[in-house]
Amino acid sequence: MAYNFQEIDKKWQNYWAQNETFKAHNDSDKPKYYVLDMFPYPSGAGLHVGHPLGYIASDIYTRYKRNKGFNVLHPMGYDAFGLPAEQYAIQTGQHPAVTTEANVIRYKEQLDRIGFSFDWSRQVKTCDPSYYKWTQWAFTQMFEHYYDTAKDKALPIEEMKSAFAGGGSAAVQAWGSKELNFSAQEWQAFDKKKKEEILQNYRIAYLDEVPVNWCPALGTVLANDEVKDGLSERGGHPVEQKVMKQWCLRVSAYSQRLLDRLESLDWSESMKEVQRNWIGRSEGAQVEFAVKDKDFGFEIFTTRPDTMYGVTFMVLAPESEYVEKVVTASQKAAVDQYLEECKKKSQRDRMMETKSMTGVFTGAYCVHPFSGKEIPIWIGDYVLGGYGTGAIMAVPAHDSRDHAFAKTFDLPIIPVIEGEGAQNVAEASYDAKEGKLINSDILNGLEVKEAITRMLEEVEAKNLGTRKVNYRLRDAIFSRQRYWGEPFPVYYVDDEPHMLSVDKLPLELPEVDKYLPTEDGDPPLGRAKKWQTEEGHPFELSTMPGFAGSSAYFLRYMDPNNNDELVSKEANAYWKNVDLYVGGPEHGTGHLIYSRFWNKFLYDLGVICEDEPFKKMVNQGMIQGRSNFVYRLKSDQKTFVSATLAADKKKYDTQEIHVDVNIVQNDILDIEAFKKWRPEFADASFILEKEGDSEVYKCGWAIEKMSKSKYNVVNPDTIANKYGADTLRLYEMFLGPLEQSKPWNTNGIEGVYRFLIKFWNLFHEGEELSLSDEKATPEELKVLHTCLKKVQEDMDNFSFNTTVAAFMIAANDLAKLKCNKREVLSDLVVALSPFAPHTAEELWQKLGATESVSQAAWPVAEEKYLVESNFNYPVSFNGKMRFLLELPVDYSKEQIQEAVLGHENSQKWLEGKEIKKGIIVPKKIVNIVVG
C-alpha cells in the first residue's frame, strides 16, 4: 500500500475535530500539564514556515505529555487588536473587526493543515468584548490599588485613605511617583481634588503628565520598546518627545519582585539576563549636597560613594526642578538658552551625538559634604531627569561620561584610585572598581569595596543621606490614541477619572465614521456618538496598548466562558500556571515583563494562586528566508544575465531584482514560469551560463527576513500539500536546534520524507499490509530500545533534531533486519506519534487499535536490551582509575578484574599497582581502586 499522505492527513484531521480528541477537561484524576504558545497576531499575510516552528515543538511536547499520562491544556487564540488592521482600515474604510476575522479564519485553516492538537473549544480573541471585559476589569483594579512597600504587595486604595486620615503620609509606606509629606490634619484639610491628586501618586494605574514617544504619522504614543533608533517599530515612522497626560501602570513598583523570582524560573540564562538588564537594579547611596549660600540642598544618586573625594563638579538634568532654584542672575540668560536647545532636541538627536557633551554652568556652587570645598553646579543633558534624582556628583577621574564632560568644559580631574591602568586620568578615566584609594582623607589606603562600605557608613552616620536602590525599569505608558484597542473603562466627572464597576463591563468599542483623529486632534474615539455614561459623563478617548490583551490571556484559557470572573478559583487551582511556554525571544522586555507584572498584581489581589505565569520557557529561533535574485541589464530592460556572469561588473551593468523563490529550484530559474510571473517579463531574454552539459539561468541569493516584498515567503500549506503535514513537522524539527535561528531551505526535506516512506514500508509488503505476531529477536529489541531511550532523553531536553535522527536510525536498522513484528512496531508508532501524528494514527489503526494513538501509553525504554561488551581504554586516574567498558551488568568483581587486566592498555597504567576492588558504575564504567 502506498503512503498516501494527502488522504491520511485529511482523514485524521477530520477525526480529531469530530471526536474532540484534544479537548482538555478541568476535572481529571490525571496530573495536569499546561503547554502554551505565544498567540499570534493574525496578519493579512498569513503564516509562513517560520511561524509554526514553535507551535510544532510545543505540539510534539503536548502529545508526548498526553502519552505520558498527563491531562494537558494546549490552547490557541489570537492577539487580535493592533496597528496593522487599523492602518488597513484607514486606507480602505473597512472595519478592523472584519479584516481581523477574515485573517483569523485563514490562520485557523493554516494551523489545522499542520495537524496541531489544540483544544479549539477554549480559543480566545483579545478583541472579543467577553474577553476584554477582563482586561478592562484588571485595569479598574489597578486604579483601586496602591503598592505597599512594607507588606510588599498591592493593597486597596481605601486602606491608604484611612491610613492617611489617621496618620498622614508617614502612616503608609507606598511606592509613589514622588515622595510626599503631609500630616493627618493636612490630609483631612485637603479638598477632594487635592486628595485625588495625592492618590494618583500611588495608584497602580494612574494619570500623569509624562514625556512620551509621540509618533505623528501613526497619531499615537508608543512604548519605549515599540521605538527602535528613534523610529517606530511598526512602519518605521519618526518618533518625537512630547509631554502628554497619559494613563500609566506602576510596573516599577514590582521591580524587585520581578528580579527576585527570575532566579526560580526555568528560562534560558540569556532571557533572564535580558530581563535583569531591563530591570536594571543598581545599589548605591543617595547623598545630599548643600548649595552654597542657600538654605537648601539637593540629593544625588551614586553607585560609587568611594569616589566622593574625586568630585570636581555637579551636574543637573535640564529637567531638574533645582535648575531654576540655583541659577545665578549672571548665568540666567545662558542657562535659559541652553534649556531651549534641549527642548528642541528629540530623543533621536540626543542619541545621535552620544559622544559629544553639551552643558552650561549655573553660576552656583555646592559645598562638598566631606571636604567642605566649593563645587560648581552645571547643567548637562547627559544626566537624565527620569533616573535617580536627576542630579549627579561628577567624578571625571573615574567615570568616562564625567570625564568627557570635564574635558569639554575644562574642569579639574582629581584621581582618587590607584590601580593598574589608572596612571593617566587626565587622558582617560579609570572606571574599574579595583585599586586603592588615594587623595581621599579617611578612605586613603582602602580597597574600592571597603571604601564603598566605609563611605556608606559615614554618610549615614553624618545624616547626609541613605543607602538606596534604583531601578532602570520605568512605569508603562498605557494610553494609545488609536481606535483598534480596548476602550478604557473610565469616565470623567469634572476632569476627575472614575472607573466603571464590573457590572457595567465590558465597555464596548463604539462605531466611528473614520479611523482617524478628530479635527481637534482627539483620538478616533472622539468621533463616536454618545461616548459617555447614561448621566452624560464623557468616556476616556484613548484605548489600551497591544500588551494589555496579552498580559493575562493564559489565565482566560483555563476558564474561557466564565462570565462572572476572569477565571474561577477552581479552574485556576487546577491549572495553576503555564508549565511550558514556547515563543520568540523578542518579547523579553515587552510582553514577558508586562504579563509577569500583571500576573503578580492579580496574585496580590488573591484572584490567582501562582505569582509567576510561566514556569519553563523555550525560545524558538527565527526562520529566515532565502531570497533569490535575477540580474537585469540597465541598458536593456528585457535582458537578464545569469548570476555568475553578472558578477563581472565591468562586462555587465545590472540591477538586482528579487524573484519569487517558488519559481527557482536550487538557484536555477524556471524561465517559463518567470515569463508568466509578471506581465513585464513575458518577452524577457536571457544570457545563460554553463552548468554541466546544459545552459541554465542561475539566480543570486541572500539570507533575509521572510517577507512578502522579498518574494521569499514559503507557506507551510505549500509544503504540507507537497510532502504531507508529518514531513513538514519532522523537517522543521530536523533543521537544527530549536532555539537557533536558521534560514529556511527545502534541500534536506527529501531525507525526512524518505524516512516516513521507509517507516510506512516496515508495515507493508508491496501493496499488502504485512505484520508478524512472532516474538521479537534480541537484535530487534535492541534497535527498538536504543531508539526509545534516545527519544526519551532528547524529549526532556527539547532536542528534537536528534530525536528525529534516532527514528531514522531505527527505521534503517529494522528495514535491514526485515522486521515487521507488531511487538516492535507498535511501540515505535507511539513514540513517533508526537512528531508524525497523522501517519502514526493510520498505522496505529492498522495495528488493530480502536482509539486514537494519543490515548496510548508511552513506551518505556528498557536497559536490559542494550547491554554490550567490548573493551576500551582507561578514562581517569586519581587514586581511582576508571575504565570505559561495556560489559554485561552481572559481571562479578573477578570477571571485571580479569577483563581489565587482560587488556593491553591496562598493562601500562596498572604496572606496579594492585587492584583493590572493581565495581560497575553506572553500567559502562568500571571504577578500579588501586594502591
Partner RNA sequence: GCCGCAGUGGUGAAAUUGGUAGACACGCUAGACUUAGGAUCUAGUGCCUUUGGCGUGGGGGUUCAAGUCCCUCCUGCGGCACCA
Task: Tell which positions 804-823 bind RNA, by CB under 7 A.
Answer: 804-805, 808-809, 812, 815-816
Do 203 and 185 form a contact (C-beta atoms < 8 A)?
Answer: no
Options 6, 14, 121, 270; binder of RNA; rule CB under 7 A:
270
Taking the complex as a whole, the smallest distance from the CB of residue 789 to RNA amounts, in Å, to 10
Instruction: Pick the stretch among 51-59, 420-428, 572-580, 743-751 that binds RNA (CB under 7 A).
Output: 743-751
Taking the complex as a whole, the smallest distance from the CB of residue 740 to RNA amounts, in Å, to 5
What secondary structure letter does DSSP report for 442? G
Q: Which cell goes with 332?
A: 540666567
Taking the complex as a whole, the smallest distance from the CB of residue 250 to RNA amounts, in Å, to 16
How does DSSP assign 549-570, residue by residue? HHSSHHHHTTSTT-SSSSS-HH
Residue 864's contacts (CB-CB under 8 Å, 6 or more residues apart) are: none
Which among 711, 566, 701 is positioned nearest to 647, based on CA atoms?
701
Closer CB to RNA, 188 or 905, in the complex: 905
Taking the complex as a whole, the smallest distance from the CB of residue 226 to RNA amounts, in Å, to 11
Options 194, 343, 754, 913; binder of RNA; rule CB under 7 A:
754
Taking the complex as a whole, the smallest distance from the CB of residue 392 to RNA amounts, in Å, to 5
Options 518, 562, 741, 772; binder of RNA; rule CB under 7 A:
741
CA distance 343 to 358: 13
Closer CB to RNA, 538 or 737, in the complex: 737
Options 143, 382, 554, 597; binder of RNA; rule CB under 7 A:
382
Collapsed DSSP state (helix, strand, coil) of residue 685: strand
Number of residues interacting with RNA: please give it, by CB under 7 A.
76
377 binds RNA (CB under 7 A): no
Strands (E), 746-878: 764-765, 768-769, 870-878
284 binds RNA (CB under 7 A): yes
User: Helices 725-734 and 749-762: crossing angle, nearest 10°?
Assistant: 120
CA distance 454 to 462: 12
How does DSSP assign 645-662, residue by residue? HHT-TTT--EEEEEE-GG
Do 366 and 297 form a contact (C-beta atoms < 8 A)?
Answer: yes
Task: Tell which positions 394-453 bind RNA, by CB under 7 A.
Answer: 399, 401, 404
801 binds RNA (CB under 7 A): yes
Options 4, 876, 895, 907; binder of RNA; rule CB under 7 A:
876
Taking the complex as a whole, the smallest distance from the CB of residue 588 to RNA amounts, in Å, to 7
Our separate counts of H helices and E strands in the chain read 30, 39
Options 32, 177, 751, 915; binder of RNA; rule CB under 7 A:
751
Closer CB to RNA, 615 or 758, in the complex: 758
Q: Which cell goes with 577?
A: 500556571
Residue 556, classified by CB atoms within 10 Å of its CB into exposed (0-12), middle (13-18) or buried (19+), is: buried
C-alpha distances (whole Å) from 827 to each of 490, 755, 848, 853 are 59, 17, 13, 11
Task: Tell which positions 324-363 bind RNA, by CB under 7 A.
Answer: 350-351, 353-354, 356-357
Task: Tell which positions 208-227 bind RNA, by CB under 7 A.
Answer: 224-225
Taking the complex as a whole, the smallest distance from the CB of residue 830 to RNA amounts, in Å, to 20
Do 38 and 587 form a contact (C-beta atoms < 8 A)?
Answer: yes
Taking the complex as a whole, the smallest distance from the CB of residue 472 to RNA amounts, in Å, to 4
Do 456 and 285 form a contact (C-beta atoms < 8 A)?
Answer: yes
Instruction: Pick the stretch among 177-185, 367-375, 746-754, 859-867 that binds RNA (CB under 7 A).
Output: 746-754
C-alpha distances (whole Å) from 318 to each of 124, 239, 245, 341, 874 are 47, 21, 20, 10, 70
CA distance 28 to 499: 39
Task: Tell which positions 293-312 bind RNA, by CB under 7 A.
Answer: 301-304
390 binds RNA (CB under 7 A): yes
Q: For residue 662, which amino acid is it?
A: N
Options 277, 371, 453, 869; binder of RNA; rule CB under 7 A:
277
Closer CB to RNA, 119 or 306, in the complex: 306
Residue 279's contacts (CB-CB under 8 Å, 6 or more residues apart) are: 255, 258, 259, 471, 472, 473
β-bridge pairing 623-633 and 742-743 = parallel
Closer CB to RNA, 186 or 765, in the complex: 765
Cα-Cα end-to-end distance for the chain: 66
Compute φ and ψ for 546, nearest 5 degrees: -55, -35
Task: Tell which positions 563-592 bind RNA, by CB under 7 A.
Answer: 585-586, 588-589
Closer CB to RNA, 346 or 741, in the complex: 741
Options 55, 254, 278, 553; binder of RNA; rule CB under 7 A:
278
HSE-up (13 A, CA, CB side) for residue 705: 3
Closer CB to RNA, 30 or 754, in the complex: 754
Q: Which cell goes with 622?
A: 527565527
Options 383, 646, 659, 730; binder of RNA; rule CB under 7 A:
383
835 binds RNA (CB under 7 A): no
Task: Tell which positions 843-872 bind RNA, by CB under 7 A.
Answer: 870, 872
Each residue 620-659 as x (binds RNA by CB under 7 A) or -, in order, gives ----------------------------------------
694 binds RNA (CB under 7 A): no
C-alpha distances (whole Å) from 390 to each of 133, 379, 393 are 39, 10, 11
752 binds RNA (CB under 7 A): yes
Options 73, 207, 259, 274; binder of RNA; rule CB under 7 A:
274
Each residue 450-489 as x (binds RNA by CB under 7 A) or -, in order, gives --------------------x-x-----------------
Strands (E), 87-223: 145-148, 153-156, 205-215, 220-222
Task: Tell which positions 877-896 bind RNA, by CB under 7 A.
Answer: 877-878, 882, 884
Taking the complex as a whole, the smallest distance from the CB of residue 438 to RNA amounts, in Å, to 19
